[in-house]
Structures are given as structure tokens and as C-alpha cells.
Structure 1
Amino acid sequence: MTDLVQVRRGAYRDSVTLMRVSRRIAGRPDVADAMAAMGTPLNRAVFERMGFAVPPDAGPADLVVALRGDGPLDDARHALAELLDERAQAHDGGFGEAPPPRTVAAAAARGDASLALLSVPGPHVFPEAMDALAAGLNVMIFSDNVPLEQEIALKDAAAARGLIVLGPDCGTAVVGGAGLGFANAVRPGPVGIVAASGTGAQQVMCLLDAAGTGVGTVLGVGGRDLSPQVSGRSTLSALAALDADPATELIVVVAKPPAPPVAALIREAARRLDTPVVFALPLPGADDLTGATAAALRRLGRPVPRWPRRARPQPPGGALRGLFAGGTLCAEAELVAGAVPGGHGHRMTDFGDDAYTRGRAHPMIDPTLRLAALADAAADPGCGVVLLDVVLGYGADPDPAASLAPALAAARAARPDLALVVSLCGAAGDPQGLDRQGAALHEAGAAVFASNAEAARYAAALAAGRSGDEGEDG
């Protein structure tokens, strides 16, 4: 095998572009392995795991490209360079047309927009967001790794103008019927969601959709909004906005575990609203996401269904390893699994945490780190149960089962005693095909659940040594 590793100093490319380039080059017949990524510590570890020797002076601002093949790599190297060096040609619009706007404020001045969606490296988002607020726009910040003090300053500036900042790290929103970020294709309806959690909002959206109830608006406020420092600034604004919307009959508040004083503040604000509010907070003694969804349906006077599943007999026993793309789904699984009597040795990892996404695409887009973790879990004789979430929707991996199903099948082939459980969060209208994804994961050997809480309970029961011989449901 021939290895080729090159470093481009100071050549930044976004993580999604690099992931797509890597996949295209890795698919060439003359290439066995390929990766293009910024030289962050996490990416360097992935390069090293693949067996590539990265120069020690390559840093986070440097682009590292690595190729491996049986013969000369000249053609692959040239193809990679062309992909990396492609630039969209500026569209001049023809004679007499104005050039494209170069600032958020300039773009806002050309139309009647009410929301700016920003996705730039987190440390550089602040001036763009302030520019949007000054132009009278609400702001959705998809970026993560935004300094906390900047988040507070942006939300205070928004409140002073009667606007809302969604995020930072707002992965999911539905505004004016349009899904933004990692949104699911759910039917419109009377429920509004305020979410300090992207995947938590998606779980509630998808369960409501499975029950035949639609969602009108989802306002993602960012995972830190209910922290002691941010103190629910955007959540309070979002509650007021949905309460004023005559189309919203019920509000669901979804969050990662909030700071207790902030949770009390939000509950008190909810009591003062005219619109009823249901809470989905992963706290001991509180409803999990599935339970909160059921409570919302009952509040609306609608039946609660049996949530879809594709269960199958699984071997019991051994430690539980949770490999998650969704932070709230991970927190919920940890709480639910910990409450199952006899459970032991649980370890849950949120691969969507900021620590894993610096210089990398989110695991809902790029499965590389989770696939490696799945292989590690299968190689660990102490691990008896693996629990994963798969989140569908716009913006996510267009076919997650294409890479995950073979990896699950390989893990099962290597370890027939390994139990595999998948929490599949998706709606029937999602572009990936909910039924097709579920069938592929089930065929690969996994028990598949629409409810993340039910998947976690099932996995924890297996880890506790109880048989997983549930009958199959479509």
C-alpha cells in the first residue's frame, strides 16, 4: 500500500464540504482509504486510527489530506486537488443587475425577510448575528462553539429590539411552515415546541406525527439557554411568541437537564400563559420525551397510540454502551436506563457534543466516529448491549442505514452474543424513507424503536440479564 499525506497551511474548508470530498475520493477504484479534514486534535486521532502519519506541526487551521492505495496515487491526488479547489463562479446576473449582497444587512434590505439563518464557525458568528439584529431580523444560529458571553449579549440585544435569537447550536426549527436545520417532514398542526434541544424536539415532532397530530412552529433556543448563565432568555421570548399565536393550541417545552432555578422560572412563566404548556425535561420523576408526548396528546383530547417498533429476540447480559448523535436522546437514555432495576456498567456518549464536532461535521451527517466506536464496542468482551440513535430529516445523512446497517451486521457476525438496539427518530415523510431505514437496520440484526425511552428501557433490561424476546411489530 502507498500512503500520501499532505498539509495545506491555513486553508480552511467547512466540515461538510470535506466530508463529501472524502467520500467521493474514497469511492475511486484506485483508493483504499481517504480523508480530508482540518488538523484538529480529534481529526488527528482519526487520521492516526486509520494509520496515516500526520506531520506533528499540522494544527486546527491547517487542511490535512490523506490517501492510501495499491499503486500510484497521482490521479487521485489531482482529483482531490480539483475538488478542494473548486469555487462557485460569481453570478453577475447579467447586464445591469446588482451584485450579490455581501452582508446580512445588505441582504435584508433587498426583501421582506424576518429571519436570518447563520452557519459560520462559532468564534466568528457574533458580528454577523449583531448585523442581522441591527437590520431588524430574528436570528437562528446553527453554529456551535460560540462563546457563552457572546450568546448572552446577542440575546439581550434581541430582547431590546423585540426579536428572538434561536441558538447558538440551534439544530432544528420550524418557522412559517418551513423546516430549518435538522427538521423532520411532519404534518402541520396545533402544537408549538420550544426546544433547548434539537433532537429532543425532533423526537417529540416525530412521535406526534406518528400519532396523527401535527406541529405548527418549533423554536430552538440552543442547548445552553436553560443554563444558570443564560437563564432562559430565549425560552421566555419563545413562550410569549407562541402564546400570542392563535394557531398554537398547546406548547411543549423540551430541554436537556435544566438548572433547577431556571426550570422554576420557566414553569412560573408558563403558568401565566393562556396557552397550556407540557414539559419534557429529562429529570428524575418527570415524564420522558415519550411520556410528555403522550401527555400532550391527552391534553388535546387525542388517543395515544402504541409507538412503532421492530423488536426481535436479543441475547441478554453484559454492559450497555450508548453511542448517540443526539445530546438530549443520550441524556434521556442515561436517565431511563439508570432507573431499570439491575442495570449495570452503562456508559453513554454524545457524539454531537461540541468536543466531537470541532472541525468535523455533526454525527447526524458524518457517521465516522460512531462507526469506529461501534467497532470498539463489538471488540470489547465486556460489552453486551449497544444502543444507538438514528435521526432522520432534512439536512441529516441522506441514507444512514447504508453505512450503519453493514456495521451492525459485521458487529453481530463477530459477536453473536452482542445485542443491538436502535432508536429511530423519523417521520413518514422524511426524505430518507422511515420504513426503508427501519427495515434495513432490523435486517442487520437490531431491534428498532420509534420511542427513544422505550429503546433505552429495552436495552437496559437486556444489560440487566433479562431476555429480549419481544414479538415483532412493524
Structure 2
Amino acid sequence: MLHTIIEKNSYHDSIVLMLLTNHLKEIAGVNNVQVMMGTPANKDIFKTGGLATPELDQATPNDMVVVVDVDDEALIDQVVAESKNYLEEQSQAKEDEGTTERVRTWDKALEVGKDAPLALISIPGVYAAPEIERALDAGKHVFCFSDNVSIEDEARLKKLAHEKGLLLMGPDCGTGVANGIPLAFANRTRRGEIGIVGASGTGIQEVATTIHKLGGGVTNAIGTGGRDLKAAVDGTTLKDGVALLDQDPSVKVIVVISKPPAKEVRDSVMDLLRAAHKPVVVVFMGERPDHHEEGLYQAYTLEETAHLAVDLLNGQQPTVVAEELPVPDVKLAEGQKNIKAYYSGGTLAYEAATMINDTVGLNAESGVDGAILNQDGYEALDLGDDVYTQGRPHPMIDATVRKQMMTDAGQDPETAVILIDDVLGYGTHDDMAGELAPTIKKVIADAKAQGRELPVVATIVGTDLDIQDYAGQKKTLEEAGAVVCQSNAQAVKVALALIGHPVEEVVKDVEPKKATNVTMPEVPESLRNLLTVDRFVNIGVESFAKAIDENGGRAVQFDWQPIAGGNVELQRALAFLNKVSLETEV
């Protein structure tokens, strides 16, 4: 039986409510539960999740909504009490830390954060575009974690940022590093002379952490969001980011990372990279380059990208990395032929899909709805895609969906290898290896009981500086029976070797750099101040402010809530009137 609890005017960020949902699911007798704010989009998620009730219509975007499915109505009081206690504990923890200055209005945020060049925005995507514009109008760079912003708004706002001499990172920007300070879902890495700009999720994390393992460091990693190199957006953030790093005296090597780009944007980006005054390493996921150009080196995998960057930083000519892969001694049964890859990061899934597709010769087109590869029994899924996260926590936080998929794959007699990632860093699960370990053991044991061996191959995206303890995560996965590799590319190579399709390394010659008519543009001083940022205004998810404070920065926490009862059109009208009023005053 479904019951609805509405807490009026009780706004909480999405990550807190995701974690509360997980907490309530642990109560014995709770069949299903979901906690979200009462936005129109969230009401649709309640409906698609089988949790629709007539009472939902009464909730506003400022109201916290709990819909719970229980057989025993006596549990409702326990759910209410547990919710209240959990949120009070979260609030008390914030007060106990007491290091972050808190504000509740834009005017106060701009007053207290007047010296902060960068605003982090992590609010429901339906409300993000006006807030991005407001921050840009206030002269602030923007790092936008929020997703579900229209591509039309993204293109318009990035053009506005460029015209103002500012940078808009995102929307849907999952990670970044600014002046050595990790932003959003980011790892702790040492500072260094390699600068990164690119698709802003696990791609940046994989390259930055591999650079760290190789002894290098990253001081600035500029995220673009996943759609920046689409034709409608024209690579605005990536191009401005490359120009900024090219003129940053502390950067010796530039790295560019991109999901498959629009051809015309790719060509314009390559022309710009040829105008760089520093060595550049570029990786376009989905491409397998067969040569380098002098000063412009093209990688196939994220691991190769990191190796090339560190070699160039150390003054060495790029070479093919000689690897001894940890391929286990496994005898697959007849019929075991497929690789199932379940990732919490989209760029890692793209990398796996590309390598499997190229090596096995599937000739597969890119999939849809999170399935980057889904052909002939082979799968490479991005479980962070919207199709898997609607109404659920991100897979970096909650392993429920992935564990079920692993279990199902283990029951398929054609499954030969299961690939998984464990992404460490801020915002992610405190012990993802511990969450996955029982399922790894079960998958291996069930296959053995059916007369099959089924290797689980894992990669850990992280460093020895991350709060989750890299060595401890590796030990937990290995004790569960997983083969743990140094990189995602290495893990995919191990999986392919196990099914009899080893990856052949391509030796690339260095050809003369192609001519370009493009000149690297001068960046304005307003853009340069991003390189030395240590003050931030954090609008939304509070854990992002905590990460900043712990790493030498200072964040003003703006406890944002939707105005105008959550009516988006009315909010846009008010924002327009406010903007006109300010311009009139000036």
C-alpha cells in the first residue's frame, strides 16, 4: 500500500535525498520508497517508478515528498521518524563543522562572495539556466553540475560566457580541478604542470589519476560537459579552455579529452590545437589514430593519453607502453564469448565499447539509452545515464542497479567476462568495493556451481590520496575474487585476451604538423583569474563546498531554494525584470 508524506517548505539537495532514500530502504517491511522534492519532473519519476498517488498533486517544488510502499501502516510513523532523525543529523553535522559561511539569497551570496571568481551550480536542471545566467551577469565563471539543461540554453549561455570573457563548464559537468582544488566528483591528485580540458566526468578522472600514478600532476582540469563538441555548441568551452591553458605559464603539456565530436567541430578543434605553443595530447573517444603530428599527439585510450603527457613533460619521445597484463589462468566453457561491462562513468564505457568493437570487429553503431555498446551479446553500459538514474542515486553512490546486472549476466552461460569500475573521490561511495564484493563472490560461485569459470575484471579510478583508501579498495576487490587492473584500458585488454581477441598495439610515426590558418586567441584577464581561484560560491550540493574547504579553498554556501513556488516561467520573468532593473540603475 502506498502512503505519501509531504513536508511543506523543506528543501534539501538531491544527493542528501538520494542518501535518505537508501537509508529508508533498509527498514524491514519497506517494500519501496522514494524521497524527492515535489518538482514536476520528480512527480513524473514517482509515476514511472510505480509510486504515483493523488496526494502528489498537492506538493510544490519547495516541499519534500516521501512516497513509501508498506504492507503494515504502523511503519509509516517509523519512516517519518527515521527521515526526521536523518535530516537532523545531517544538519547538526553541518553546524558542527562550522567552517562554511552560509547564505540564503542571491544578493547575500554576491555580497559575501564578491571576491569569488567561480560559482558552482548543482540544483535541479529545470532551474539551472536562469541561475547560470545570473552568475555570468555577476562576472563569475560557472561550473554547472546540473544536468537536464536544454542544448539551446547551453549554446546560448556558453556564447554569453565567451562574450564576457568567462568560462561556463557544463552543464552536466561531473568533475574538475581549479588551481589544485577538486570540484564536484573529483579525486585528490598532486599539483603539476599538465593541464586538462575535456569531457568532464570519468574521462578527466581516469587521465588525472593515471598521471598521478606515473609521477606527474594536474593543477587545472577544465570540464566542458558532454555536449560541448556537438555542432550546436561548437566547442566553445573547450576552445576557450585550450587557449587559457596555452597561455598559463605553469602548464607545460596540454591534454584534450572528448567523447565522439561533430566532424566540423573536431576539425576546428584540431586546427586550434595545431596553433598551440605547447605539446598537446588529444584523445577523441571512438577514434583509433595511426600517427602523431609533431607537437600534436593523438591517443587511442585514456591510459595512453596519460602516458604520452607524462613522457612529454619529462622531455621523452612518446613510445608504446610495454604492459604485462594480469590475465588470469581461466579456461572458459564452450559458448562463453561475451563481455559485459557495467560502468558508473560514460567516458569509461565509451572507451570499453570502442576497444571491444574495434578488436572483435563488431561494426556496431553507438547505442542509445546508456548502452554505448549492445550487440551480439556484448554490452558496455553507462549506468550514470539518465535512463538508469531517474529516481535513483548515481551508480557512484548506489550499486543496486549494477549488482543486479552483474548477477543477471552471471546467469547467462554466454557471458565470459564481467567488467566493472570503482570510482573513488569526493561525492562517491565511502566503500564501493565493499558494496560490490558480495556480488562478485556470488557471481563467481554461481558460475562455478554451473560448471563455468567467470572472471570479474575491475579497475579503480583513484589515487593514494583519496579518502576511500585506494590500497584498501584494491584488497577488498581482490579478496572477493576480482582481477584488479591499473587502468580501464588495461582491464578491457585483459577481458579481450580472455576471449581470444588480444589488442594489437599500433606503433605511430610522428609526421610533420599540418598547416593551420588559426591563431591562438589572446585570453582576457577575466579568464586568466580562473587559474588562481581559491574562493567559490557553492549553489546547491553542500558536499562540494566541503571538498573545496578541505583542499585549501574557501566556499560560501548558498542554500538555494526555488522561488515563485517553483514556477519556471515565472522565475524566468522575475529574472528578466531583475536584470532590466539592474541595467537601468547602471
TM-score, length-normalised on structure 2? 0.70
1:461 match: 497
Q: Distance in 2 between matches of 1:310 and 1:243?
A: 38
Structure 1 residues 213, 69: CA separation in 2 closer, same or farther (over 3 Å shift)?
farther
Q: Deviations over 1:16-38 (max 9, x none)?
A: 2233213333445x457653245
Pick from 253, 262, 274: which aligns with 1:259?
A: 262
Structure 1 residues 41, 107: CA separation in 2 closer, same or farther (over 3 Å shift)?
closer
Question: Is the Cα contact below 8 Å between 1:341 and 1:464 reproduced in 2?
Answer: no
Q: Distance in 1 between matches of 2:494 and 2:5?
A: 48
Q: Distance in 2 between matches of 1:43 and 1:449?
A: 39
Aligned amino acid, residue 304 of structure 2: G
1:36 aligns with 2:72: no
1:17-166 to structure 2, matched below 5 A, reads 17-28=16-27, 30-31=28-29, 35-38=33-36, 63-66=65-68, 73=75, 76-83=78-85, 88=91, 100-103=103-106, 106-110=108-112, 111-166=114-169
Pick from 168, 171, 182: which aligns with 1:179?
A: 182
> Which of the pair has the greater relative contact order for Cα pairs under 8 Å at 6+ separation?
2
1:441 aligns with 2:477: yes
Structure 1 residues 342, 155: CA separation in 2 closer, same or farther (over 3 Å shift)?
closer
Structure 1 residues 311, 433: CA separation in 2 closer, same or farther (over 3 Å shift)?
farther
SS in 2 for 1:158: helix
Question: Is the Cα contact below 8 Å between 2:144 and 2:172 reproduced in 1?
Answer: yes
Pick from 237, 250, 254: which aligns with 2:253?
A: 250
Question: Is the Cα contact below 8 Å between 1:13 and 1:63 reproduced in 2?
Answer: no
Deviation at 1:419, TM superposition (A): 2.2
1:95 match: none
Q: Distance in 2 between matches of 1:407 and 1:354?
A: 24
Deviation at 1:458, TM superposition (A): 1.6
1:281-300 to structure 2, matched below 5 A, reads 281-286=284-289, 287-300=300-313
2:191 match: 188
SS in 2 for 1:163: coil
Segments of 5+ residues of structure 1 without an aligned counterpart are: 93-97, 467-474
Q: Deviations over 1:80-111 (max 9, x none)?
A: 3425775959x99xxxxx993411x5413323
Deviation at 1:422, TM superposition (A): 1.1
What is the percentage of aligned positions where both structures have the same residue? 35
SS in 2 for 1:112: coil
Structure 1 residues 450, 17: CA separation in 2 closer, same or farther (over 3 Å shift)?
same
Q: Distance in 2 between matches of 1:32 and 1:307?
A: 49
Q: Distance in 1 between matches of 2:175 and 2:427?
A: 10
2:229 match: 226
Deviation at 1:347, TM superposition (A): 1.4
Q: Deviations over 1:225-247 (max 9, x none)?
A: 01111110000110111111100
1:345 aligns with 2:377: yes
Q: Deviations over 1:421-450 (max 9, x none)?
A: 112211111111111111111111211112
1:322 aligns with 2:322: no
Deviation at 1:341, TM superposition (A): 4.1
Deviation at 1:160, TM superposition (A): 1.0
Structure 1 residues 40, 428: CA separation in 2 closer, same or farther (over 3 Å shift)?
farther
Deviation at 1:451, TM superposition (A): 1.4
Question: Is the Cα contact below 8 Å between 1:37 and 1:43 reproduced in 2?
Answer: no
Question: Is the Cα contact below 8 Å between 2:286 and 2:350 reproduced in 1?
Answer: no
Q: Distance in 1 between matches of 2:20 and 2:7?
A: 18
Q: Distance in 2 between matches of 1:99 and 1:171?
A: 23
Aligned amino acid, residue 21 of structure 1: L
1:275 aligns with 2:278: yes
Structure 1 residues 315, 10: CA separation in 2 closer, same or farther (over 3 Å shift)?
farther
Pick from 393, 409, 413: which aligns with 2:445?
A: 413
Q: Distance in 1 between matches of 2:243 and 2:338?
A: 45
Q: Deviations over 1:449-472 (max 9, x none)?
A: 121112112212324488xxxxxx
Deviation at 1:367, TM superposition (A): 1.8
State the aligned residue count: 450
Structure 1 residues 434, 68: CA separation in 2 closer, same or farther (over 3 Å shift)?
farther
Deviation at 1:262, TM superposition (A): 1.0
Pick from 299, 312, 329: which aligns with 1:313?
A: 329
Structure 1 residues 380, 43: CA separation in 2 closer, same or farther (over 3 Å shift)?
farther
TM-score, length-normalised on structure 1? 0.85
Structure 1 residues 99, 227: CA separation in 2 closer, same or farther (over 3 Å shift)?
closer
Q: Distance in 1 between matches of 2:324 and 2:6?
A: 50
Question: Is the Cα contact below 8 Å between 1:315 and 1:419 reproduced in 2?
Answer: no
Question: Is the Cα contact below 8 Å between 1:196 and 1:226 reproduced in 2?
Answer: no
Pick from 2, 7, 15: which aligns with 2:4?
A: 7
Question: Is the Cα contact below 8 Å between 1:101 and 1:107 reproduced in 2?
Answer: yes
Q: Distance in 2 between matches of 1:395 and 1:275?
A: 33
Q: Distance in 2 between matches of 1:221 and 1:351?
A: 20
Q: Distance in 1 between matches of 2:322 and 2:394?
A: 31
Question: Is the Cα contact below 8 Å between 1:25 and 1:79 reproduced in 2?
Answer: no
Q: Deviations over 1:305-356 (max 9, x none)?
A: 7779765434433321111111111011011112224776311111112332
Q: Distance in 2 between matches of 1:138 and 1:307?
A: 41
Pick from 369, 377, 399: which aligns with 2:431?
A: 399
